[in-house]
Structure 1
Amino acid sequence: MLRTALLAAAREPRVRHLVEANPLTRSVVDRYIAGTTAQDAVRTTRALADHGLHVTLDHLGEDTTDADKAAATVAAYRTVLDSLGSAGLADRAEVSVKLSAVGQFLPGDGAKIALANAQRICEAAAAVGTTVTLDMEDHTTTDSTLDILRDLRVDFPSAGAVLQAYLRRTEQDCRDLASAGSRVRLCKGAYAEPESVAFPDKSEVDRSYVRCLKTLMNGEGYPMVATHDPRMVAIADDLAQRAGRSPESFEFQMLYGIRPAEQERLAAEGKRLRVYLAYGDEWYGYFMRRLAERPANIAFFARSLLGRG
C-alpha cells in the first residue's frame, strides 16, 4: 500500500511542490542524483569509472507535452555526450533516454517527433563512440516505445531497450528481442500498474524475472541484468555460465547510490557492472520511484519534510 501511495505521489503536482520546496529533502535526493549539470554528470562518471564501473546517464525529465522542452532535452543529451567524448569516457558511458521526455506525448505526431529526437541523440552518441538505451515507462507506452526502437535500430542497431518483468507480456517481448545485436535491460518495474497487465505479487514478479532471464541468456543478444537483489544476481550468474557466456557478453546494472560496495565488489570479480546515473533539475518523479523501492529511506525523508532532517 505504501509503495502504491508513493508511486501515485510521483505524479501528484501538489506533493511535488511540497517536496521540491523543502531544501531539507536534498540530503536524501543527493543519494540518488549526480547533480544538475552535464559537468556534474561527467565528474561523477569519471569517479565511477576510476572504480572499474561503467555508467548509463539519464538526463531527468518525463511526460513532456511541450515541443521546446523536448528539444531542450535533446540538446542536453547531445551536450553531455560531447562532454563524455572530450573527457575520454565514451568507452565507459552510454545514455538512457525516456521517450516521453523527447516528444512521445506531444499531440498529433508525438511518436514521429520522439523518433526523430531519439535519432539525433543516437547520432551524437555514435559520433563519440557510444550508444543509447531507450528507457521503458508505464505499460501504456510499451508498444509505442518498441515500435520506435525497431525504427531506430535500422540506422543505429546497437540501440538498447528496457523490458519490465512485472508486465505479463514481457516474456514474449524477451523472446522477440533476444536476437543477435539486440541489447535488453531487464528490470522488475517501477510504476503503479493494474493487475490486468502486471503481476501483483513480488513472488510472481521474481518468477517472471527468472523466466525472462533464461530467455535472454540463451538468446543471441546482450542481456543487461538490472537488479539489486543478491539472489537474482546469483541466478543470473548461474544462467550465464550454463549458457556459456563470457563476462563480456552480458552485464549487471544497479542504480547510483544503492549498494555501492556491492557494485565495486562485482566489478572487482571481473563482472561488468553499469551504474544508472541520473542528473538534472527534473528529479522529482525519479526520486519518488526510488523512494518507493527503498522503504528504509521513508522515515528519513519524512523527518526532512517535517523540518527535523
Structure 2
Amino acid sequence: MFGSTLLAVSRRPHVRHLVTTAPVTRRLVDRFVAGDDLGSALAATTELAAKGLLVSLDHLGEDTLDAAQAAACRDAYVDLLDGLAARGLARSAEVSIKLSALGRALPRDGEAIARDNAAAICAAAARAGTTATVDMEDHTGVDLTLAVVTELRAEYPWLGAVLQSALRRTESDCADLARPGSRVRLVKGAYAEPASVAFSAKADVDESYVRCLGVLLAGPGYPMVATHDAAMIDAARALVAEHGRTPDDHEFQMLYGIRVAEQERIAASGSQMRVYLPYGADWYGYFMRRLAERPANLAFFARSLLSR
C-alpha cells in the first residue's frame, strides 16, 4: 500500500521537479543507475563481467509520446549492442527493452511502431551474438507485450518475456510460456495496480511468486529468477533440486546496486547470476520505483531533502 501511494504521488509534476533538482538525489541515483551515457554503461558491464556476472542492460526511458524520441531510443540500443560486440561483451550481456520507450503510446500506429523498433533491436542483438528481453510494465500493457513477444519469437526464438507475480493472471501466463527454449524472467512487480488485477498483500505476492516459479521450473523453458528476497531464492533452489535443473538451464537476477555481495556469492556458487543494469538520463521513473520498493532508501532520501 505504501509503495503504491508513493508511485501515485511521484506522477505529480511538482514532486518530479523536487526530486530531480535536489542535490542529494544524484548520490542515491548512482547506487541504482550505471550512468547517463553509453560509455558509463559499457564500463560498468566490463566490471561486472570481470567478476563472472552476466548483465542485462536497460536504456532508461518510458512513456515516449514522440516518434523521433522512440527512434532515438531504438538507435541507442543498436549502438549499445554494437558496443557490446566490439568489446567482446556480447557473451556476457544482453539488453532489456520497454515497449513504452519504443513508441507504444504514440497516437497513430503506436503499437506497430513499438513492434518495429523492438524488431530492429532484436536484429541488432542477433548480429552482436546476444539476446534481448522485453520488460513488462503496468497491467494495461500485458496483452500487447506478450503478443509482440510471441510475434517476434517467430524470427528470434530467444527473445525473453517478463512476468509479474503481483498480477493475478500471471500463473496462467507462466503455463502458457513454459515452452521449450522460452526465456521468462519472473519478478514480483513494481507498479501501482488496482486490487481487481493484482495482489496487494506482500504475502499473497510471495505465494504467487513461488507458485509461478513452480510452473516455470517444472517446464522445459529457461526461467530467470529475478528477486532479492532470500526466501524466494531459497524456494527457487528447492524447486531447482526437485526438478533436476542444472546451472545452465536457468539463472538468478538482481538489480544493479542491490545486494551486491549476494550477487557475487551466487555467481561464485556456480549458479548463473545476471545483473539488471540501467543507464541513461531519463532515470526518474526507475528511481521512484526503487524507492517505493525499499522504505529504507526512501527514509534516507527524505531526511536528506529536509536537511539540505
TM-score by length of 1: 0.98
Contact 2:4/2:193 (<8 A) preserved: no
1:62 and 1:100 in contact (8 A); partners too: yes
The answer for the alignment partner of 2:72 in structure 1 is 72
Q: Which residue of 1 aligns with 2:87?
A: 87
Q: CA deviation at 1:10?
A: 3.4
SS of match in other structure, 2:252: strand
Contact 1:24 1:307 in 2 (8 A): no
1:304 offset after TM fit, Å? 2.8
Distance 2:20 2:99 in 1: 24
Deviations 1:159-217 (A, max 9, x none): 00000001000000000000011100000000000000001111111111011000000
Aligned-partner SS, 1:288: helix
Q: Is the 8 A contact 1:9 1:16 kept in 2?
A: no
Tell me the CA shift for residue 9 of structure 1. Answer: 3.0
Q: Give matches, 1:41-60, under 5 Å.
A: 41-60=41-60
Give, in whole Å, the separation in 1 of the partners of 2:23 and 2:80. Answer: 27
Measure the CA separation in 2 of the matches of 1:60 and 1:202.
27
Which residue of structure 2 lines up, in the alignment, with residue 98 of structure 1? Answer: 98
Output the CA distance in 2 between the equivalents of 1:9 and 1:70: 26
How far apart are residue 307 of structure 1 and its match? Answer: 4.5
Q: Map of 1:21-60 to 2, 5 A cutoff? A: 21-60=21-60
Q: Classify the secondary structure of the residue corresponding to 1:195.
A: coil
Q: Do the aligned partners of 1:96 and 1:134 also contact (CA within 8 Å) in 2?
A: yes
What is the SS of the residue equivalent to 1:58?
strand
Identity of aligned residues (%): 62
Provide Cα deviations, 1:253-299, integer angstroms capped at 9, x if missing partner: 00001000000000000010000000000000000000111111112
Partner of 1:116: 116
Tell whether the 8 Å contact from 1:58 to 1:276 is kept in structure 2 after alignment: yes
Q: Are residue 154 (structure 1) and residue 160 (structure 2) matched?
A: no
What's the secondary structure of 1:106's corresponding residue? coil
SS at match of 1:99: coil
Aligned to 1:222: 222
The residue type paired with residue 92 of structure 2 is R
Contact 1:134 1:160 in 2 (8 A): yes
- The amino acid of 1:78's aligned partner reads V
Task: State the partner residue of 1:144.
Answer: 144
**1:179/1:221 contact within 8 Å kept:** yes
Partner of 1:280: 280
Instruction: Please tell me whether the aligned partners of residues 10 and 284 of structure 1 are also in contact (alpha carbons under 8 angstroms).
Output: no
Checking the alignment, whether the CA contact within 8 Å between 2:99 and 2:145 is kept in structure 1 is yes
Q: Name the SS for the 2:31 alignment partner.
A: coil
User: Displacement, 1:236?
Assistant: 0.4
SS at structure 2 position matched to 1:245: coil
* Structure 1, gaps ≥5 residues long: none
Aligned to 2:186: 186
Note the C-alpha offset of 1:11: 2.4
**What is the aligned length?**
308
SS in structure 2 of the partner of residue 101 of structure 1: coil
Tell me the TM-score normalized by structure 2.
0.98
* CA RMSD of superposed structures (Å): 0.9
Which residue of 2 is the match for residue 270 of structure 1? 270
User: Structure 2 stretches of 5 or more lacking a match?
Assistant: none
Q: Which residue of 1 aligns with 2:12?
A: 12
2-side partners of 1:14 and 1:161: how far apart? Answer: 34
Q: Distance in 2 between matches of 1:126 and 1:60?
A: 21
Residue by residue, what CA displacement relative to the aligned partner does 1:9-50 show, whole Å, maximum 9, x if unpaired?
A: 332222111111122210011000000111100100111111
Give the partner amino acid of 1:172: S
Task: For residue 104 of structure 1, give the secondary structure of its aligned residue in structure 2.
Answer: coil
Maintained 8 Å contact 2:163/2:184: yes
